[in-house]
Structure 1
Amino acid sequence: MTRVVVIGAGHNGLVSAVHLAAAGLDTQVLEHAPRPGGATSSSERTLPGFVHDDHAAFVPMTVASPAMRELELEREGLTWITPATAMAHPFDDGTAIALHRDVAATASSLGAAGAGWSEAMAQLLPRASTLVETILAPLPPVRGSLVLAASLRRDGLDWARRMLGSVEALGLELFDGDRRATAWLSGSAQHSGLPPSTAGSGAFGLLLQVLGHSHGWPVPQGGMGSLSAALVARAEREGARVRCDAPVARILTRGRRVVGVRLASGEEIAADAVLSTLSALPLSRMLEPGALPGRLERRLRSWRYGTGAFKLDYALSGPVPWTAPEAREAAVVHVAGTLTELGAAAHAGARGELPERPALVVGQQSLFDRTRAPEGRHTLYVYAHVPARYDEEDAEVVDRIEAQLERFAPGVAERVLARAARAPRETEAENPSMVGGDLGGGTLELDQQLIFRPAPELARYRTPLRGLYVAGASTHPGGAVHGMSGRGAARALLRDRRVRPWRTPR
């Protein structure tokens, strides 16, 4: 029987394990941490009974992704909660623009700019699933591109141009120069870490907003750890084994092929194939020098990572007292202020400077999921994009983040029962694949996308080293919890072994 080692029990590793084990391969998943999940985990970081998502939180790509849908994780006990108001972007005057599941309600929130949004959604929403599946599809995404081109006709070229450009340019065009509405759209692009004036950021901002209408921004009941638990249960039901506290130190090779792995403890595990979900730089460090062709090895070692996430988790005595009413009922609040402020924060981080007014992504999971906190209490999830390294003390970063919260929610500090802070270097220490605290596996600028993520030789999940396959956030289609690279790498391995891939029963 073919023996396969999967490195990493994040969602991509677990998705690949389902496919490999279901096809009859002897599949073992090795995870360095004491529990599975990777970026899809949750924990009681502040006080007992307060469940905080450690990294990923609101995951529209998960419910939209074919790779996740086909696993039918609801059969493993997973329950989704989808808030009616996905996001709100407040301003200093006490108002906010909200992203509702309902397009008409969103257009009303946008005011005069709502007509442009309604027109755009009339074109894109009927094609939302095709759009998502085309973006996530293995390269080249021929079928989806042809379907979109045929259905959008001449408008398709306009949308391609807009999505390749910056989210700032996209917003100003859609909203006839309205900078408030453009700030609202650009806040969603900030999840990628790209400044709003950067080429390619248009696709990220637009896609998240479209998904807000078509699929919502859902959370798994009980925390992101519930998603990982369902994936582990699914993998183990197919026969895979998941082993934690098992950090891989070296991928072993003989000649030009993989023969197994060596753990940090010195234990060696033989394997006919290894599927790695590590990001580019840690993967290169696990291989002997010369195991890959020189140019490819240099590409992995010089892979550029983006800004890191400085994370704050709070246990609160009550809900956040936002000035803007829309923010009090939103799943996510983008605390970024004006378009100018949002851009200044993003550009400062990209330059290696700590932003004076960081742009924040704030999650209010406990407003909708009462399993997250004791009765009457609440959790709060906050992160800001900051440089991986900075000169200031961590306490200064916390002060700047909390000043932003107090600016839009006066009195929130009085409701804090406990707080847990995690700097980018601590994120990397917990999960070495998140270099510099970058959750996205590398910057999402255009030269690190598509066939260049991370290199043309790896874009379809194979490597020049026989028996080594790659998945994870550094491979196409990048970060977010969608499982497509895990599925793609497993299918590539099965095809090479001439094993019939597992498919969802019809």
Structure 2
Amino acid sequence: MPDVAVVGAGPNGLAAAVIMARAGLSVHVYEAAPTPGGGLRTLELIEPGHVYDVCSAVHPMVLASPFFRQFELARRIRLEIPDISYGSPLDGGRAALAYRSLDRTADGLGRDGGAYRRLMAPLVRRVEGITALTLNQLLRIPDDPLAAAVFGFRTLEQGSPLWGLRFREELAPALLTGAAAHAVSPLPALAAAGAGLMLGTLGHVGGWPIPVGGSAAIAAAMVADIRAHGGVVETGTRIGSLAELPPVRATLLDVAPPGLLRLAAGQLPSRYRRTLESYRFGNAACKVDFILSGPVPWTAPELADAGTVHVGGTRAETAEAEHLVATGRHPERPYVLVSQPSRFDAGRAPSGRHILWSYCHVPAGSTVDMGEAVIAQLERFAPGFRDMVVSFKVTTAAGLAEYNENYVGGDFSAGLMDLRGILQRPVLSPVPWRTPVPGVYLCSSSTPPGPGVTGMPGLHAAKYALKDIFGLPLPGLGWQA
């Protein structure tokens, strides 16, 4: 019998399994889908030879995550890091560009360049302390109190009606808002501002990497490490309840709160169960993936070198689109996240073709096909785009929920990303990864630090399981030849 069972082979379940196997324990991972990865799956799109990422495509957090840094991911797979981390197009052929160089970024922002530099430079200088704050337990004394204060004051500014006071033009606010809107939240908001500032800081430090071969390369590296240390990864096996698992000493669940309620039915104290039942999910995404006959013809040609493009227009336009989603409506001009990975990884498409990955925000549970709205937004900033579309595939929010149980209503963040949703994830506790069921730990994105491919929910859950049950410390995770 294994020592440890892991249910769910998303990035956090795999991270937990890596740690437990590295600690010398026998580990068995159970995944309902035919392949491991969760949000790290890469498949062919419509035609043979055209490879797209089903969920995440660009990974701002992997170079900053303590788990992936210890795991030495950059030595295990090839990561392409564009010199322009992200950009935001505006009408008239203008674009705000976030280079890895903060100075070069500021130089391109006109009269607001100095203000942007003053906003971001202290965050860039204290990135280690800010990463420690945002990727670990929030209910504790910060490792670097000054970094926490610097980050906190800037979050208060950019998350409140004061967010425009330091700026005079449109480029810098559009750049900041494009990153903040990742949080699928009305703007301005504290949680969205914190997320945007963190993402922006990483864009100026290590960049936003794109895995060569697709995001599945990250999952494959973790699966290979689990198996190299004696673990088993079993796919096509859906666990209906904890009773179906062998009598292991520790169980780690990469599931959202509804999944925990299903698996542990009858075993949870009533108060904890009610808290899980009241857990709040956020709004969702409609994903639109394209095969193109060439690169996107951006009016601002520099955007071709950006790994990610936030297509929403001005700060006010993006905020209006997110407000409409928050009130249950579908924007005619949605905020669209776009990446063309075939610009940096030629193996994603045959010669002369390109892959374009995109999604826009929609209300939870939406069945609306946003393909035409996304095409219209892209045509607005890249005239001629429509004529380059060979074919495309739309996955509605309801389709995302069907694809992955953790994406309730199409919420790929596995929980509402407001201030309460960050602190109470899924319960308000110094150790939210522990559940009341002895030996059972939650390690999904519904636990801190939340969404993003970081592996950190898995690391935290595994750390406590090792300590509580096996009396073991965290093992080393370094790459081995």
Fold equivalence (TM over 0.5): yes
Q: Counterpart of 2:241 in 1: which secondary structure?
A: strand
The answer as to whether partners of 1:49 and 1:372 remain within 8 angstroms in 2 is yes
1:415 is aligned, of 384, 388, 403, to 388
Q: How does 1:243-392 map to 2 (within 5 A)?
A: 243-252=234-243, 262=244, 269-289=246-266, 291-390=267-366
**Which residue of structure 2 lines up, in the alignment, with residue 257 of structure 1?**
none
Say how many residue pairs are matched: 478
SS at structure 2 position matched to 1:186: helix
- TM-score after normalising by structure 2: 0.95
Letter in 1 for 2:65: S
Runs of 4+ in 1 over 6 A off after TM superposition: none
**Gaps (5+ residues) in structure 1?**
150-155, 253-261, 263-267
Residues 456, 2 of structure 1: alpha-carbon distance in 2 compared, 3 angstrom cutoff: farther
Match of 1:436 in 2: 409
In structure 1, C-alpha distance between the alignment counterparts of 2:123 and 2:35, rounded to whole Å: 40
Are the aligned partners of 2:183 and 2:191 in contact in 1 as well (CA < 8 Å)? no
Q: Measure the CA separation in 1 of the matches of 2:471 and 2:440.
A: 16
How far is the alpha carbon of 1:480 from its aligned partner? 0.3
Contact 2:137 2:430 in 1 (8 A): no
Q: Which residue of 1 aligns with 2:425?
A: 453
Q: Is the 2:116–2:172 contact (alpha carbons within 8 Å) kept by the matching residues of 1?
A: no
SS of aligned partner of 1:384:
strand
Tell me the alpha carbon deviations over residues 121-152 of structure 1, each in whole angstroms, 9 at most, x when there is no partner.
Answer: 33221211221122112344435233636xxx
Partners of 2:47 and 2:173 in 1: CA distance: 38
Equivalent residue letter for 2:397:
P
CA separation in 1, counterparts of 2:18 and 2:191? 33
- Residues 1:418 and 1:214: Cα distance change in structure 2 (over 3 Å): same
Aligned equivalent of 1:15: 15
Partner of 1:474: 446
Q: Distance in 2 between matches of 1:409 and 1:41?
A: 29
Instruction: Output the amino acid matched with 1:145.
Output: D
What amino acid sits opposite 1:355 in the alignment?
A: P
Corresponding residue for 1:465? 437
Question: Is 2:336–2:359's contact at 8 Å kept on the other side of the alignment?
Answer: yes
2:155 to 159, 163, 170: 163
SS at match of 1:230: helix
Name the Cα RMSD after superposition.
Answer: 1.9
CA distance in 2, matches of 1:405, 1:176: 27
1:230-261 deviation line (CA, Å, top 9, x unaligned): 11111111111100001111123xxxxxxxxx
Residue in structure 2 matched with residue 258 of structure 1 by the alignment: none
Of the three residues 190, 198, 202, the one matched with 2:189 is 198
Structure 1 residues 74, 234: CA separation in 2 closer, same or farther (over 3 Å shift)? farther
Q: What secondary structure is seen at the aligned counterpart in 1 of 2:322?
A: helix
How far residue 72 of structure 1 moved from its aligned partner, in angstroms, is: 2.0
Question: What TM-score, normalized to structure 1?
Answer: 0.90
Give yes or no for contact 1:23–1:502 (8 Å, CA) kept in 2: yes
Alpha-carbon spacing, 1:142–1:368, altered in 2? closer, same or farther (3 Å): same
Q: What is the distance in 1 between the residues matched to 2:477 and 2:325?
A: 47
Percent of aligned pairs with the same residue? Answer: 38
> Aligned equivalents of 1:62 and 1:341: distance in 2?
30
1: CA distance, partners of 2:65 / 2:299: 36
Partner residue of 2:468 out of 479, 489, 496: 496
5+ unaligned residues in a row in structure 2: which ranges?
none
Structural mapping, 1:164-243, within 5 Å: 164=156, 166-167=158-159, 169=161, 171-173=163-165, 175-243=166-234
Following the alignment from structure 2 to structure 1, what is the Cα–Cα distance between the partners of residues 88 and 477?
Answer: 42
With over 3 angstroms needed to count, the CA separation of the structure-2 counterparts of 1:170 and 1:474, relative to structure 1, is farther
CA distance in 2 between counterparts of 1:498 and 1:143 reads 28
Q: Please report how far the alpha carbon of residue 43 of structure 1 lies from its aligned counterpart in structure 2 after TM superposition.
A: 0.9
Which one is further off, 334-343 or 278-287? 278-287
**C-alpha deviations, 1:278-317, integer Å up to 9, x for none?**
112222222214x222222112112111111100111111
Q: Is 2:426–2:432's contact at 8 Å kept on the other side of the alignment? A: no
Match of 2:31 in 1: 31
Contact 2:365-2:410 at 8 Å conserved across structures = no
Aligned residue number for residue 152 of structure 1: none
Alpha-carbon distance change, 90 to 487 in structure 1, aligned in 2, over 3 angstroms? same
The Cα of 1:505 is off from its aligned counterpart by 7.2
For the residues of structure 1 that align with 2:146 and 2:229, how far apart are their CA atoms?
A: 35
